[in-house]
Amino acid sequence: MEQIAGIAGLAILGMIFSSFVTVFWMIVGWQAMRSFEKLANAVELMVLRNNRQDRQTDQISDD
């Protein structure tokens, strides 16, 4: 009987630990996703600014 209680306690601890690890990696993944979105937006903004400058340079050259 004591072995069953010990195994059940170990199973409960295992479930709690697994839940903690799952939530931890979900938070880490969410933060990584937010960082990637910020990086992608910054790169997109740089490309748009570069294209705008290229168009202005082309217009000045054509004049």
Half-sphere exposure of 37 (CA within 13 A, CB side): 6
Instruction: Give CA–CA dist 8/17, Å, rounded.
Output: 14
CB-based contacts of 57, cutoff 8 Å, min separation 6: none
What per-residue confidence (pLDDT) applies to 2? 75
pLDDT tens digits, one per residue of 20-60: 999 999 999 999 999 999 999 999 999 999 988 877 776 76
pTM score:
0.65
Instruction: Give CA–CA dist 39/36, Å, rounded.
Output: 5
What per-residue confidence (pLDDT) applies to 41? 96
- Give the Cβ contact number of residue 27 at 10 Å: 10
> Residue 63: pLDDT band by 50, 70, 90 thresholds?
low
